[in-house]
Amino acid sequence: MAGQAVFILGALGLSLLLLSQITTQTVWIEDAKSFPAQPRFWPGVAIAMMVTSFGLHLLLMRRRRPDRLDWVEARRWLEPLEYVLWFMAYVFLVPVAGFLPMSLIFACALTWRLGYRDAGYFWVAALFAVCTVALFKGLLGVKIPGAAVYDALPGTLRSFFILYL
């Protein structure tokens, strides 16, 4: 499968890097009750599993050196980075602008970015954002803090926004 050689080489490289760090990132206790009680034992087992399996897989692969198609596939792995940035921007803006306003903006803006220009999609996206906020923060009371902009609101409205929106 295209891209597998790149993935395996990367994963094996990472495993070897972790293996090289095992003596500095874990400690060896002299008075440990047994060998499995050593803090180094389980990371060692895990990394040994990774190095051996990735190594054997690479050894048994028909084509070990990545070719052009592998790199084309590897470039495709970078495509979702744009949406990861959208996600992280949303994460950083919620404590500033508020869960409800940011959810509305995020849902509608991403709908536009995805190429849906019909008004119906924007209404559905906005409704979905409102329902998500109402269900999770309003009803289920999940822990999402109130926003900095809510401080500008008058007394009762402010506490309502902080608690439910």
Partner 1 sequence: MDILLSAIEVLSRWDVAIALLVGSIGGVAIGAIPGVGPAVAIAILLPATFSMDPIVGLTVLLGIYGSSMFGGAIPAILINTPGTAVNALTTYDGYPMTLRGEGRRALSLAYSASFFGGIFSVICLIALSPLLARVAPMFGSREIFLAALLGIILVIVAHRGQMLMATALTGFGIFLSTVGLEPVKYTRRFTFDQTWLASGVNLIVVVLGLFALSQALVLLTMDDEKVRLTKSRGSLFQGFRELARHPRVATVSAGFGVFMGMIPGVGEFTAQFMSYTSARKMSKTPEAFGQGSAEGLIASETANNAVPAAAMIPLLALGIPGEALTAMMLSVFYVHNVVPGPGLFLYQMDFVVALYLALLLLNVLVVIFLLISTGWLVYLTKIPNRFLGMCILLLSFVGVYSIRNSAVDCAIAAVFGLIGYVLKRLNLPIVPIVLGMVLGGIMEVKLRASMNRVNTPFDFIDRPIAFVIFALIVVILLGTFWRVWRDWVPTDRRSLARKSSDRFARRIAGRKTRHFEIKTKQQRRRRSYDHMGS
The nearest distance, CB 64 to partner 1, in angstroms, is 9
Task: Provide the Cα torsion 47, 49, 55, 56; round to 10°.
Answer: 180
Position 94 contacts partner 1 (CB under 8 A):
yes
Cα–Cα distance between 88 and 114 in angstroms, integer?
17
Position 161 contacts partner 1 (CB under 8 A):
no
Residue 136 CB contacts under 8 Å (≥ 6 apart), including other chains: 142, 144
CB of 122 or CB of 158, closer to partner 1: 122
CB of 15 or CB of 156, closer to partner 1: 15
Binds partner 1 by CB under 8 A, chosen from 13, 23, 69, 80: 80
Using alpha carbons only, what angle is made at residue 81 by residues 77 and 82, rounded to the nearest 5 degrees? 130
Position 140 contacts partner 1 (CB under 8 A):
yes
Number of other residues whose CB lies within 10 A of the CB of residue 32: 13
Position 3 contacts partner 1 (CB under 8 A):
yes
One character per residue 19-58, x = contact with partner 1 (rule: CB under 8 A): --x---xxx-x---xx-xx-xx-xx-xxxxxx-xxx-xx-
Cα–Cα distance between 20 and 165 in angstroms, integer?
48
Position 119 contacts partner 1 (CB under 8 A):
no
Q: What type of residue is 22?
A: I
CB of 27 or CB of 154, closer to partner 1: 27
